[in-house]
Amino acid sequence: MNTQEILIPVPWGHISAKMYGNHCNSAVLCVHGIQDNCDTFSTLLPLLPKEYYYVCIDLPGHGHSSHFPQFVPLEFTNYLSAIKLVKDHFCWSQFVYLGHSFGGQLGTWFTALYPECIKCLIILDTMGPRDVERKNTMETVKSRIDDFHILQRRQSGRDPPVYTYDQAVDKIRSGRPSKLTDESAHILAKRSLIRVDENRFKFAYDQRLKLPFHPVMTFDQHENIINRISCPTIFVLADENCGRYSTYLKNAYEFYSTRPNMTIRTVNGNHDVHLNHPDRVFAFVSEFLKQNY
C-alpha cells in the first residue's frame, strides 16, 4: 500500500495523519485508542480491501499531533470536534469510520451526532463509553477536578522523565491492560517517543490522558444519543475481554445486540488483537467493508 503523511491544521496546532491507498477511493477514517497512535492499524490495513482510502490520525495529545491547550482538563467532546475538523479538512460528504477502544467510543458518538456523514461503522473491542450512575455524579466530578489539580502540581517545574529506547518499550508493554507482542510494542514506540538525545527518549503523549474523561452521564443519557445510529455497524470483540461486557459495559452490550443494523463478532485474543494478530480480525472487517462498498 502507498503511504503518505500530512499535518492537518487545527486552531491549537495540527493533527497528524497517515494515509494508505488511492485518495480517489472511498475514505475510511481510522481512529486509535488512548495513549496509542495511528500505527496501531499498521498490521491490519494491508490485509483490508484495496478499494478504500484509509486515513489514520493521531488524536490530539498522541503520536505526532499537537496537544490540546494546557492547564485545563481533557474533554470528550473536544475529541469529537477534532474528528469533525478532520472530516471538514478532507471535504468528505460521507466516510467509513473504523475505531479501536477509545477511538471506537468516539465513533459511536460521532455517528449518532452526524449520522449523515457515516456510511458504516466498524468498532474494535469496545462498546462504551462507560456510564456513571446518577448517585455517583457528585463524587465523580469532584474526583476529576481534584485529580487534575494533583497532576498539575506534580508536573509543575519538572522535566518529563527520560528513558533508553529499551526502557521506553518495556514501559509501553507494562503500562497496558493487555499484552503486546514484541513487534507490536516496537510499532507503537515509533510514534510514541520523542528523541531527547542520541540515547534517550521521552513519551509524546499528553500526561492528562492518564486521567478519566469519559462523559459523566447515565446509561439512559448515552442511550438517548447512540439510539440514533442507523447505519450498518459491526463490533469485533476480543474474547479475553468479554467479561467486561457483562460488567460496566453490560447495558451497552445488551442495547447493541438487539439492534437489527448491528453485528457482533468475537475473535480469540486480547484488547490489542487487531495489532498483535490482524489475521484473526481482518476477515470480519473485510467482509463488512465489501458488503457496504
Residues β-bridged to residue 16: 7
Told to judge if 101 belongs to the known catalytic residues of this protein, a careful annotator would answer: yes
Q: What is the SS3 string spanning the chain?
A: CCEEEEEEEECCEEEEEEEECCCCCEEEEEECCCCCCHHHHCCCHHHCCCCEEEEEECCCCCCCCCCCCCCCCCCHHHHHHHHHHHHHHHCCCCEEEEEECHHHHHHHHHHHHCHHHEEEEEEECCCCCCCCCHHHHHHHHHHHHHHHHHHHHHHCCCCCCCECHHHHHHHHHHCCCCCCCHHHHHHHHHHHEEECCCCCEEECCCHHHHCCCCCCCCHHHHHHHHCCCCCCEEEEEEHHHHHHHHCCCHHHHHHHHCCCCEEEEEECCCCCHHHHCHHHCHHHHHHHHHHCC
- Cα–Cα dist 234/64, whole Å: 29
Residue 17's region, left for phi above 0, alpha for psi from -120 to 50, else beta, is: beta
The single-letter code of the amino acid at 281 is V
> Which of 16, 42, 66, 101 is labelled catalytic?
101
Decide the pairing of beta strands 201-203 and 193-195.
Answer: antiparallel
Between helix 76-90 and helix 102-113 the angle, nearest 10°, is 70
Catalytic residues: 101
